[in-house]
């Protein structure tokens, strides 16, 4: 059976009493601890300063009389100002770190009745953060209706809130509200996406470290970053603004000026000081979309700003400060960019603590239907017109949208554009089958302009393709086609290994795909570059004809 150890401050007022028989006529919380019938204190450690040694000795002598089995220990701790929060917390934190806790053999209680209110708050914080593996112990004097020699009552408070059903239910409701808020009330049905949102909700509530959102264009990185900001604002964790910048639009001196600000005369046209986006985000959240497009110089300055909250505006010798939270977004494989020397490893290490891979629309076909309702509600809020699908029209649209023919390279952004067109053209606020047929034809025509990939294997491998079996060539052609229609290695991996991932509970799809491509000396970026070159070749004759004309 574990021994009970109680730690607490000496009550310089509550534990003080006169000499003689008067000592037993007053309720004293430290002494009363050892008088409880159902609480056996094996060791009592009382914290006091040098001026209270005499009182501590008297309390110890009294406890020896009423509870000889209690090992009484005095702990001297000097506090210049017991009402100074920083001093008291630091002292108790140091005390906790140096204490030889033996949780296998001892059960620890922290007596919070004695000591200043500041000390009580510090005890609570240290126990909640588990610096003290202890429960809180609160004592109270006897009621007026109780007999005069009553020792009062005590209550043990366990900060493990999971033990309290009503409190646990309340926190569960708040968590569910947070999840719904991040998803904008969309009842998503994709298990992997829901798990990711749950993790983001927990991180948003507990951490100020940078987040990295990876996903294809249109997957909702910017939208999710803003929702995280609004959630943290609701919880009063941020007071500043939401600042968003697309790093793909930043180049050279303008990038330095936009991000870090500049001083007057720093370059031609700099007629006055400019604070920059980092300083504008002070106390708020900075979302750097497409961070992989930043130059190496900007990356170096950004690293210092993230780590030290300090940076030099362009052309200035005076450091600026800004305490912002960072969320970065990218559709690129930053590890591949590092291998190419285009992205700093130290910056990647700094923003890679919380990385969330947002799946594209192709990886979440079950979420297309709830997003239809969301997009139509958003259209109604913007236009003031309520639009609905006919039953058959909705069935036909969903059948097409979730089929293999639907490519959705623009992901949810492209789906939103499609529904906006349908809602705008719908007669009398009802989307008909004819409207859907027209939209399907419109999308099919747009997607048919993409280059053919049937001979991709032969083109990429040249003569080596003839050394592959027909089975391997067909498999590789399929993999290449998926990679060329995906915006990141992770997205392609999710699409290719969806079934085996669920069966084997494996999640590192990107690594599996990377190893497969390496067998043929291929890389994801190589395939993406190849499709761009193919498009350029297909467009060149038309441009040349136009120039001749």
Residues 440 and 417: beta-carbon distance below 8 Å: no
d(CA 381, CA 373): 12
d(CA 538, CA 453): 13
Inter-axis angle of helices 433-447 and 411-425, to 10 degrees?
Answer: 140
Q: Quick one: pLDDT at residue 301? A: 84
Residues facing residue 285 across a β-bridge: 242, 325
Mean of pLDDT over the chain: 83
Residues 99 and 131: beta-carbon distance below 8 Å: no
**What does CATH list as the number for 3-159?**
3.40.50.10770
More confident: 251 or 482: 482
Q: Mean pLDDT across the stretch 523-534?
A: 64
Convert the pLDDT of each residue in 18-30 to its tens digit.
655 455 568 889 9
Q: Mean pLDDT across the stretch 520-532?
A: 71
Q: Mean pLDDT across the stretch 517-529?
A: 79
d(CA 35, CA 179): 49
Confidence band of 330 (pLDDT split at 50, 70, 90): very high
Q: Quick one: pLDDT at residue 535? A: 46
Q: Quick one: pLDDT at residue 226? A: 93
| pTM value > 0.75 | no
Q: Which helix (H) or strand (E) holds 357?
A: strand 354-357
What value, to the nearest 5°, has the Cα angle with vertex 487 and ends 485 and 490?
Answer: 105
More confident: 500 or 240: 240
Flag the least confident range among 239-253, 499-513, 521-535. Answer: 521-535
Two domains, one topology: 3-159 and 365-447: no
CATH architecture of the domain with residue range 365-447: Orthogonal Bundle (1.10)
Residues 264 and 273: beta-carbon distance below 8 Å: yes
d(CA 453, CA 451): 6
> Residue 484 pLDDT more than 70?
yes
CA 87 to chain centre: 32
d(CA 72, CA 45): 6
Convert the pLDDT of each residue in 198-232 to its tens digit.
888 889 888 899 999 998 888 889 989 999 999 89
> Residue 168 pLDDT more than 80?
no
Structure tokens at 526: 């190589």
Alpha carbons within 13 A on the beta-carbon side of 130? 2
Domain ranges of the chain: 3-159, 168-357, 365-447, 456-548
Q: Mean pLDDT across the stretch 379-407?
A: 90
| CATH superfamily label, 168-357 | P-loop containing nucleotide triphosphate hydrolases (3.40.50.300)
Q: Mean pLDDT across the stretch 420-445?
A: 92
Residues facing residue 46 across a β-bridge: 8, 74
Structure tokens at 36: 């409880």
% pLDDT > 90, the chain:
37
Residues 135 and 158: beta-carbon distance below 8 Å: yes
In sequence order, the 6+-apart residues with CB closer than 8 A to the CB of 96 are: 126, 131, 132
Q: Quick one: pLDDT at residue 201? A: 87
Q: Mean pLDDT across the stretch 154-181?
A: 68
């Amino acid at each position: 059976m574990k021994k009970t150890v109680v730690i607490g401050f000496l009550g310089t007022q509550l534990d003080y009493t006169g000499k003689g028989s008067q000592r037993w006529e007053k309720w004293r919380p430290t002494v009363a601890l050892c008088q409880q019938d159902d609480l056996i204190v094996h060791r009592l450690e009382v914290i006091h300063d040098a001026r209270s040694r005499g009182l501590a000795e008297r309390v110890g002598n009294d406890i020896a009389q009423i509870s000889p089995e209690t090992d009484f220990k005095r702990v001297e701790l000097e506090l210049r100002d017991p009402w100074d929060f920083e001093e008291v917390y630091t002292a108790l934190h140091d005390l906790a770190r140096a204490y030889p806790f033996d949780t296998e053999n001892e059960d620890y209680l922290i007596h919070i009745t004695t000591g200043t209110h500041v000390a009580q708050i510090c005890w609570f914080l240290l126990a909640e953060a588990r610096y003290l593996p202890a429960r809180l112990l609160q004592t109270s004097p006897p009621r007026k209706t109780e007999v005069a020699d009553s020792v009062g009552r005590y209550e043990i408070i366990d900060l493990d809130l999971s033990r309290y059903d009503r409190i646990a239910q309340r926190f569960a409701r708040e968590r569910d509200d947070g999840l719904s808020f991040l998803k904008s009330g969309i009842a998503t049905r994709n298990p992997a996406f829901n798990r990711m949102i749950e993790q983001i909700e927990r991180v948003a509530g507990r951490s100020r470290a940078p987040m990295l959102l990876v996903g294809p264009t249109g997957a909702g990185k910017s939208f999710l970053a803003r929702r995280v900001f609004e959630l943290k604002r609701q919880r009063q964790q941020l007071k500043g603004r939401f600042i968003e910048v697309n790093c793909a639009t930043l180049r050279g001196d303008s990038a330095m000026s936009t991000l870090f600000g500049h001083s007057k005369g720093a370059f031609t046209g700099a007629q006055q000081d400019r604070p920059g986006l980092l300083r504008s985000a002070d106390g708020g959240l900075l979302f750097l979309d497409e961070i992989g497009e930043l130059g190496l110089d900007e990356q170096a300055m950004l690293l210092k700003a993230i780590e030290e909250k300090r940076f030099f505006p362009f052309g200035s010798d005076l450091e600026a400060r800004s305490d912002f939270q960072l969320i970065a977004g990218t559709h690129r494989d930053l590890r591949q960019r590092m291998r190419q020397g285009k992205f700093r490893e130290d910056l990647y290490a700094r923003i890679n603590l919380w990385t969330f891979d947002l799946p594209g629309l192709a990886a979440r076909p079950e979420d297309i239907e709830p997003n239809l309702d969301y997009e139509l509600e958003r259209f109604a809020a913007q236009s003031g017109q309520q639009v609905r699908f006919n039953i058959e029209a909705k069935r036909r649209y969903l059948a097409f949208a979730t089929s293999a023919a639907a490519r959705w390279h623009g992901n949810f952004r492209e789906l939103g554009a499609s529904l906006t067109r349908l809602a705008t053209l719908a007669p009398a606020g009802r989307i008909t089958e004819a409207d859907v047929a027209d939209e399907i034809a419109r999308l099919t025509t747009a997607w048919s302009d993409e280059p053919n990939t049937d001979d991709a294997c032969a083109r990429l491998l040249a003569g080596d393709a003839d050394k592959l079996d027909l089975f391997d060539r067909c498999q590789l052609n399929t993999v290449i086609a998926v990679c060329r229609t995906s915006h990141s290695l992770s997205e392609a991996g999710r699409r290719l290994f969806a079934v085996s991932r669920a069966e084997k509970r494996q999640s590192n799809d990107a690594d599996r795909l990377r190893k497969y491509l390496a067998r043929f000396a291929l890389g994801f970026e190589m395939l993406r570059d190849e499709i761009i070159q193919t498009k350029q070749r297909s467009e060149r004759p038309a441009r040349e004809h136009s120039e001749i004309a």
